[in-house]
Amino acid sequence: MSQYTTGELAKLAGVSVRTVQYYDSRGILSPEQRSEGGRRLYTDDDLNRLKLICFLRGLDLPIQKIGEILEAPEGENTISLLLEQQARALNEDIAQKQMQLKQTQGLIDALRALARSTPESLNDAAHIMRNKSKLRRIHGMMLVVGITLDGIEIASLVYGIRTGRWLPFAIGMAVAIVFSGALFEWWWRSVEYLCPECHTRFQPKRMQAFIGSHTPKTRKLFCPHCQRKLWCVELARE
């Protein structure tokens, strides 16, 4: 049977000498043999035990619990179950990473194809990325003002229900309507849209922008250049 010094054992297990000494001091990795000079000598069994300790420590188990598991009659079965559970988790992680890699490679291929066929689209994508922070500030301002106006409406409504006095509610609604109109006008003047077909940037008419179907990043609008109604990408005006 092979015998290893502390340094040799640490190297084989991929840990530091200090780690081996620490486990020895805690009584969970104590060699049965020593050299004539008093140096600790570890066996293959000690090496396997050290690897198990490192595995259990990787699961965030405290030293005391690791010692109890290793010494328990059912300890081997417990460790076997933990190893199987870890193997399943790693396989699931590998499968997820492989799926993400496949999706990423697909996007890379699509981007390369897009760059070969329509260079304008690649330029548009770069412009959208640079424009993103400015557009986020516009949306943030709209959210803050919108929440404030909603608060005024709700507060005045609750006051009217509790007191029977509806003048504050009427005033609150009037203020909300005026500020909502001003907010829309500010937003309309702050944004423009990018046509995915002809790559034209344009500002839609107010009514079209107001009633057009939309998502958080796009709006279905009539492009004045290609004369088509498309899902156009919202941008902050330069």
The residues near 9 (Cβ < 8 Å, ≥ 6 apart) are 20, 42, 46, 47, 50
The residues near 115 (Cβ < 8 Å, ≥ 6 apart) are 121, 122
SS3 label, residue 14: coil
Q: Among 89, 90, 67, which Cα is nearest to 79's?
A: 67
Tell me the domain boundaries of the chain. 6-71, 119-236
In CATH, the number for domain 6-71 is 1.10.1660.10
SS3 label, residue 215: coil
Compute the distance between CA of residue 188 and CA of residue 26 in angstroms, rounded to an integer: 69
Compute the distance between CA of residue 236 and CA of residue 136 in angstroms, rounded to an integer: 9
pTM: 0.47
Name the one residue in this structure whose structure tokens are 């992680």. 93
Instruction: For the chain, 238 residues long, give each residue's pLDDT as a single digit of tens.
Output: 688 888 999 999 999 999 999 988 888 888 878 877 778 888 898 898 899 889 888 888 888 888 888 888 887 888 888 888 888 888 999 999 999 998 888 888 776 665 555 555 556 666 676 778 888 888 899 899 889 988 888 988 888 888 888 898 899 899 889 999 999 999 999 999 988 888 888 999 999 989 888 888 889 999 999 898 989 889 888 7
Name the one residue in this structure whose structure tokens are 């909300």. 176
Compute the distance between CA of residue 75 and CA of residue 108 in angstroms, rounded to an integer: 49
